[in-house]
């Protein structure tokens, strides 16, 4: 297994995961971590349908910048910079993440095990190949910084 052991976030390509953007930071056999960005007014449901039905991932969300709301079932928490939310292991309940602020929100998501065990990805290069094959072109680190700044 080859992976990047040292990563500078601002030097990593970005991917449009529709509607959020993210930079993959760490790949491992038992863990995965990325930096996720939500533009102002954007929301998404964290996790896949498969995950909600049969695949349980432990997740931690650490907010770096901006403010996000995370709703799990009937409970909503507001995450300001430098706050952490441990996503409960509960199949079937959605985790809605919203950015109601006027600036781009940036947060780290770490999960164990890595998502999609049927298609393991151990390097950023492998992930780039998947996106390019599906005609979804990654943004360069410079393009990512420009997108983040436009949302402020």
Q: For the segment 54-89, what is each residue's pLDDT rounded down to a tens digit?
A: 567 788 999 999 999 998 878 899 999 999 998 877
Burial 25-37 (b: 16+ CB within 10 A, else e): bbbeeeebbbbbb
Name the domain count of the chain: 1
Q: For the segment 109-138, what is each residue's pLDDT rounded down to a tens digit?
A: 999 888 877 788 888 899 999 999 999 999
Q: What tokens does 36 get? A: 């996720």
Q: Range of 102's domain?
A: 9-150
Whether 24 maps to a domain, the answer reads yes
| pTM for this predicted structure | 0.87
64/87 Cα distance (integer angstroms):
17
Which domain CATH number covers 35? Answer: 2.60.120.10
């Amino acid at each position: 297994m080859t992976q990047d052991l040292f990563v500078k976030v601002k030097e990593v390509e970005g991917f449009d995961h529709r509607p959020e953007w993210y930079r993959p930071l760490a790949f491992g056999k038992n863990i995965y971590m990325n930096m996720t960005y939500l533009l102002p007014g954007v929301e998404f449901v964290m996790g896949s349908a498969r995950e909600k039905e049969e695949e349980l991932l432990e997740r931690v969300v650490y907010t770096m910048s901006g403010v996000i709301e995370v709703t799990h079932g009937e409970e909503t928490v507001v995450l300001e910079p430098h706050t952490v939310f441990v996503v409960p292991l509960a199949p079937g309940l959605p985790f809605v993440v919203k950015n109601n602020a006027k600036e781009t929100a940036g947060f780290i998501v770490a999960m164990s095990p890595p998502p999609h065990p049927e298609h393991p990805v151990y390097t950023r290069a492998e992930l780039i190949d998947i996106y390019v094959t599906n005609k979804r072109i990654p943004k360069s680190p410079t393009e990512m910084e420009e997108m983040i700044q436009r949302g402020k």
